[in-house]
Structure 1
Amino acid sequence: MVLTKQHLAMGVALAASLGLSACATYDDEFAAVNTRLDQIDTRVQSAAQSAESANQSATQANQRLDQLEGRVQQLETAPARKPRG
């Protein structure tokens, strides 16, 4: 079989179309991976915000406990009161 310019052009066109379809497949796969990564990033950001909120609440609770601890120590070290009556 003798290859003509027409055969060569068809071969190049076929190779190019196969290459482009492979790129489209990879583009679809990359898009799917990127979408999944965006979803995971959103969930991580939400978890980080929740953790920060919980940390602030715990800090406030610890401060309140520290305030109460001082009052409890005062009451425990105060001289005993004599009952009335």
Structure 2
Amino acid sequence: MFPTKQHLTISRTLGVALVATLGLAGCKTYDTEFATINSRLDQLDTKVQGAAQSAESANQAAQQANQRLDQLEGRVQQLETAPARKPRG
């Protein structure tokens, strides 16, 4: 049996359908990979946000400690510049 125009058309259509099906199957693989990557990015984002909150808390604690040191510094300077006391006795 010799291939006719109808046979060639059917063969071409089946070939295109096969390629399209394989292409869509490949997209599912990429969808899975993208979902995995997005999940990892979400996890990293959560960790980064936690680290940023920890850093902010540490920064606030350091500022409070600096304020206490500044308050004490005036008192220390006052004591250092005060005239020396004479010992009793």
TM-score bracket, normalised by the shorter chain, equals 0.7 to 0.9
Q: Among 28, 32, 36, which residue is 2:36 paired with?
A: 32
- Counting only pairs closer than 5 Å after superposition, residues 60-75 of structure 1 correspond to structure 2 as 60-75=64-79
Q: Where in structure 1 do 4 or more consecutive aligned residues deviate above 6 Å?
A: none
Identity of aligned residues (%): 72
Q: Does 1:43 align with 2:37?
A: no
Distance 1:16 1:76 in 2: 87
Tell me the CA shift for residue 14 of structure 1: 1.2
TM-score under structure 1 length normalisation: 0.87
One-letter identity of the residue aligned with 1:15: V
**CA distances 1:4-35 after superposition (whole Å, capped 9, x unpaired):** 25433432321121011011111111111111
Distance 1:73 1:12 in 2: 88
Unaligned runs of 5+ in 1: none
- 1:81 aligned counterpart, secondary structure: coil
**Which has the greater radius of gyration?**
2
What residue is the counterpart of 2:58 in the other structure? 54
Distance 1:9 1:79 in 2: 105
Distance 1:9 1:80 in 2: 106
Number of residues paired by the alignment?
85
Q: Report the RMSD for the aligned CA atoms in angstroms.
A: 1.6
Tell me the CA shift for residue 83 of structure 1: 2.1
